[in-house]
Structure formats: C-alpha cells, structure tokens
Structure 1
Amino acid sequence: MKITLLAATLLPMFACSAFAAPLKILIVNDDGCESPGSISLQEKLAAKGFDVWMVAPDTNQSGIGSAITFKTGKLFDVKKVTDKRFCFPGTPADAVDFGLQGVLKNSPPDLVISGVNDGPNTGMAQVNSGTVSAAARAIRYGYPAIAASIGYILSEQEMKNKWPSTHKYWSDSVDYVVEVVETLNARRTPGTALLPKGSGLSINYPALAKEEIKGVRYVENERFPVPQIGYELMANGQAKQTINPAALENTQNETDSGWLNKGYITYTLFDGSWDAPAFQAQYEALLKK
C-alpha cells in the first residue's frame, strides 16, 4: 500500500505556491544535532524548496521532557554547523527558545517540526518525550507544530540488535513527514495558520515497509499509561532505576501504542495549555465550604 496521505488528491505544487516566500520551517529534536532523522528531514524539505532551519541539542536529550536551562546571563557555546543548522548546548525546550527567540526572532517560522525521533512517542513516552515537549512549547508560543517519531518492533531480537527495523525505515518516516508538509503547504491560504491555532499533531510511523502499513489512525493519548520506569531500593540506601517490563510489551489494544504496534501511522492531536476547564464544576463541588 502506498502511503500518500492527502497529497494524492492534490495537484503538485511548488513550495513557494502562491506566496512571495517559501514556507519557513524550524526543525528541533531531542536526539541531538547529529540525528539523521532531523538532518535528512532538513535536507529533503530544503530540496523541495522550503526555507528550513534546524536547532537541536548538542547531545542526545531523549526523555528529558520539557526541562529548560534557566540561568539568565549564562553564555552558551553555540556551534553553527552549516548556514541554517545550529547545535545548542541545552535541552530540546532550550533549542526551541533559541530557534524562536534567537536565530529566527526577526523572521519567525510558519511551522515547527520536532523529529523525526528515533523511537515511538506514545503512551507514557509521549509524556516524557523531549520531542513532543519541544513541539508543545512552540504551540504554547502560538506556532503550528508537528512532533514526528518512528516506532519500534517490540521483539527480543529487535531489542537485542538495537532496533534495526527502526533504522531501516527511518528514511521512509522522514519522506512521510515531507509529504505531510507538502499537503499543508498546498492548502495554506494567506493570513491563516497551517494548523488550527493552539494545536499540534504528533505522528508516529511504524517501523515497517510501506506495503505493510495499514493506514492512518487518529488516536487519543492513553489516559492512564503504563509507567516506563521503576525503582529498586537497595540495601545500601541507593535506588536503582529499572525499565518496567510491562512498558515493553507488544500491546495490541485500542490505545495509541496498540494501533502503532498493529501497523498504523497514528495521529495524536495535542496542545500546549496544560489546561482542563472541563473539570471546574467537579472541583467547585469538592472544594466548596
């Protein structure tokens, strides 16, 4: 099955479309500035005519969530790799801030893309993810954002060999994200954001050949996901961090993780608000005096 999203229904269009300037994109990640997922995404989008910039942590910052470096006056040794690519000594959220408030502060992007991440961001991983947190931070600032990741095949052989299928099909996942951007670009209109204001899209692409992918599935975040980590208290008073075996199970249920494991590209919609006004009435009842 050929995965073409909505682009198959559209006439091919150049990146500049009817606009005076091409779509400007900021790429960030949590895998580091040498991540092939982000470098190849930048190169492939640039080859399509888009104006693509990349700011990423100088080291791998996976699983660090939304952490930032908060030290006013601190000097950062930024490395400019190419004309539009920077390694920033900080977290994924720092990279977003440096990209938006530093590199592109006088010429903001039309879209922020975080990824393509090495490994899935579903279930509890989405909560812990620097990839998704970076996208959520951009959304909180008012920028359309996409978080993109490629999944794992959860088998003993794959884990033992450091996820060969993920790395084999990583390039396919990058191509898919390029298709998504082309679709959004073809449908954009002057004065209108690429995505609904205040929202973002988390894409998880299966580590499978294109013909094995079953389609696209819109899913909700798993509301009460299985924890990824645990701790063992040692006799000497130390605590040893462990991986929760349940988090590595090849679940086939109707959760975001389950649909990804079943071979679907999953779309999860999210925002950056950390806001739950729907619960107000219940809180008023609980806390009234």
Structure 2
Amino acid sequence: MRNSILITNDDGIDSIGLKFLAEELNKIGFDIYVVAPKNQVSGSGKSHSFEVRVEKRDLQNAKKSWAIDGKPADAIAIAIRHLLKDVDIKLVVSGINIGPNMGLMDFFTSGTIGGALEGALFGYKSFAVSFAILRGIKNKEQEDLLKESAKLTSIIIKDTFDIIMEDPKLDLININFPPTRPIGIKIAKISWQTNLDVYVDSNENIFHVMGWSTDDLNSAYNGGDINSDVFFVKKGYVALTPMCIKCLPDSLTYYESYEKINNALAKSNIISV
C-alpha cells in the first residue's frame, strides 16, 4: 500500500519547486496530494487568513490538488480538517522553496516552514525543503540543480521515513540545499541568525523588507554559528535540521526568571507571591 503525502509551499502551486518535488516523490511510491497557495506568499510564516477561497486543480503526479487564496498554514489546516479528512496522510512536505530558509529569522518568517509547522502542530510528521538560491532561478543550470534537489529530497524522505514516524520527539526536519551541487549532507543545528536584508528602493520612500539586494549567499547570510544550517550550506553541504516542535513550550520558557520577575512585581503589590 502506498503512503500518502500532503504537499504545500509558499511560492505558489505553479512553482517548479513544487512540481519537481511531487514528481520525484510520486516516482518512489508515494501518493501525492497538493493544497497550496494560488500565488506567491513568501514571508507569510504560520499566519492564517479569515476567509479562504479554494479551487480544484489538476496537477500532474498528484491524485488530488487544490489552489487556495491563502497561506501555506491555511492550506494545511483546510486539507487536514476538510479536503483530505478521509485520507490517511502520513507526511506533510512543504517546498521546494526557491530561496533559503536558514536560521531563526527565517524560521519565524518563512511560509515554507510555516506550512510544515502547521502540519507538526496538527500531529503530522513534516518536512520543510528549500533551495538556497537568492532572487530566483536564473538559468537552466540552476533549474537542473533544483530538480536534483527534489530527487535527493525524495531519497532523504524515503530513507528517514521510519525514523521520523517512530520517534515521538522528531516532529519536523528542515532541509536546505546549497545553490551549487552538494558535496555531502550534514545534520545541523539552527543558526542564531539575524539576516533580514532591509534596503532602500530607487524611490527613497520605499523600503524592501523581504527579498535580497544581492545574489551572494555568503554576503546575505553573513556569519553563522559553527555546525549550523547557515554554516554548512555556505560550505556547499545539504543541511538537515531535526526539530522537536512539542519541546518548544519548555525550551522557550525561561523558568530561571520566575522568582526574579515575581519579586519585582510583588514590590508594587500587583501579584500575590
């Protein structure tokens, strides 16, 4: 029996990254279902829309597919709650994004990661996949590298399928491919990276907050902790970052500050210690 995968992205349902990914995953024996934004919604994170229109699409290599006028997180929620509620989805895969999603800044900004996060929060094992090329695919060589990335993604998913399904804490794997032919694969931590490129347009009243002013990955992602996703991708490796989303409540909460904050607030008698 073939396992079923739900694919979304933030580049839009007609993106070649999604097309290549669906093709390669279908080749190795997965049934593919696609629910993805109708247009590009990069930088949407895990945000939701109040109302979302859905239209049926006919995509090659997909058993069923829909385009929505919402965000990747909308797509996953609508698919799981309604469109595919009777389908035994095993994995959520978001991508392949045309552009990197590395470091904490990207983690909280990326619609690609947002789609995978939505899947993980619904209890589905998830992958986010990105090709670290800046400012879009520009030539046939880069398109071929993207297709190779899709093929390697399918192999990674096949080889790690049992591991991610069996490990209760392994909720999401974030994969970033270098913009060149990879020299290997590295398991990487997520980088503490503040890499938002804010630059002024030729019109001085316009600022670009999303997107890049350069094609140089090393310049755009200056720095990068040793053994992190940024560190390895800039050296030409595929970076795999395994994530425990259900660990976040404990890892984000700074318990050691409780007493100090309580004592500070108690001075004003606004809480009971």
TM > 0.5: yes
Cα root mean square deviation, aligned: 3.1
Unaligned runs of 5+ in 2: 267-273
**2:79 is the counterpart of 1:99:** yes
State the distance in 2 between where 1:264 and 1:59 align. 30
**2:56 is the counterpart of 1:79:** yes
- Encode CA deviations 1:23-63: one digit per residue, 9 max, x unaligned: 11111111110111112221222222211111110001111
**2:205 is the counterpart of 1:216:** no
Between Structure 1 and Structure 2, how many residues are aligned?
252
State the distance in 2 between where 1:41 and 1:161 align. 16
TM-score, normalised by the number of residues in structure 2? 0.79
Q: Which residue of 2 aligns with 1:270?
A: 243
Match 1:115 to one of 65, 70, 95: 95
Q: Which residue of 1 aligns with 2:174?
A: 202
State the distance in 2 between where 1:130 and 1:161 align. 19
1:263/1:50 Cα in 2 relative to 1: closer, same or farther (>3 Å)? same
TM-score, normalised by the number of residues in structure 1? 0.75
Which amino acid in the other structure matches residue 220 of structure 2? L
Percentage identity across paired residues of the two chains: 27
Q: Which residue of 2 aligns with 1:280?
A: 255
Give 3-state SS (helix, strand or coil) of 2:43's partner. coil
Q: Which residue of 2 aligns with 1:126?
A: 107
**2:114 is the counterpart of 1:147:** no
Which amino acid in the other structure matches residue 176 of structure 2? N
**2:146 is the counterpart of 1:170:** yes
1:194/1:135 Cα in 2 relative to 1: closer, same or farther (>3 Å)? farther
State the distance in 2 between where 1:229 and 1:43 align. 33
Match 1:180 to one of 136, 139, 156: 156
Q: Which residue of 1 aligns with 2:69?
A: 89
Where do residues 38-49 of structure 1 align in structure 2 (5 Å cutoff)? 38-49=18-29
1:194/1:56 Cα in 2 relative to 1: closer, same or farther (>3 Å)? farther
- Encode CA deviations 1:157-198: one digit per residue, 9 max, x unaligned: xx698476543300111011110122134x47xxx9355346
1:120 deviation in Å? 1.0
1:108 deviation in Å? 3.3
State the distance in 1 between where 2:113 and 2:195 align. 17
